[in-house]
Amino acid sequence: MHLTAPAPGRTETRPRTRDADGMAVASFILGLLGLLVLNVFLGPTAVVLAAVALWRGTARRGRAYLGLALGLADLAVLVTAMEISRTVSWSL
């Protein structure tokens, strides 16, 4: 059995999974916030974070999928609000 030492500067054995789990939670929170404010920025950010978390193999797949769905919902709300107000921006 061949064991390799972690790369210099790395003390944990699974930092990539931990980072992916953090990205999944962040995408969920940003997607949720994006429904209320700054959906033009938070929606795409939530989608990208969710996609990267899923690609890296997060253990929190449900949160990543929710973040992805909420990010897409943010963009749908933005497009709908822009269509209703017939402008390129919207406000409450």
pLDDT tens for 7-48 read 566 555 566 667 889 999 999 999 999 998 888 899 999 999
Residue 44: Cβ within 10 Å count: 16
Give the model's confidence band at 81: pLDDT under 50 very low, under 70 low, under 90 confident, else very high.
confident
Cα(52)–Cα(56) distance, integer angstroms: 6
Q: What is the pLDDT of residues 41-53, one digit of tens each?
A: 999 999 999 999 9
Distance CA(77)–CA(37), nearest Å, equals 11
Q: Quick one: residue 9, left, alpha or beta (phi over 0 = left, psi -120 to 50 = alpha)?
A: left
Give residue-wise pLDDT tens across range 54-72: 999 899 899 999 999 999 9
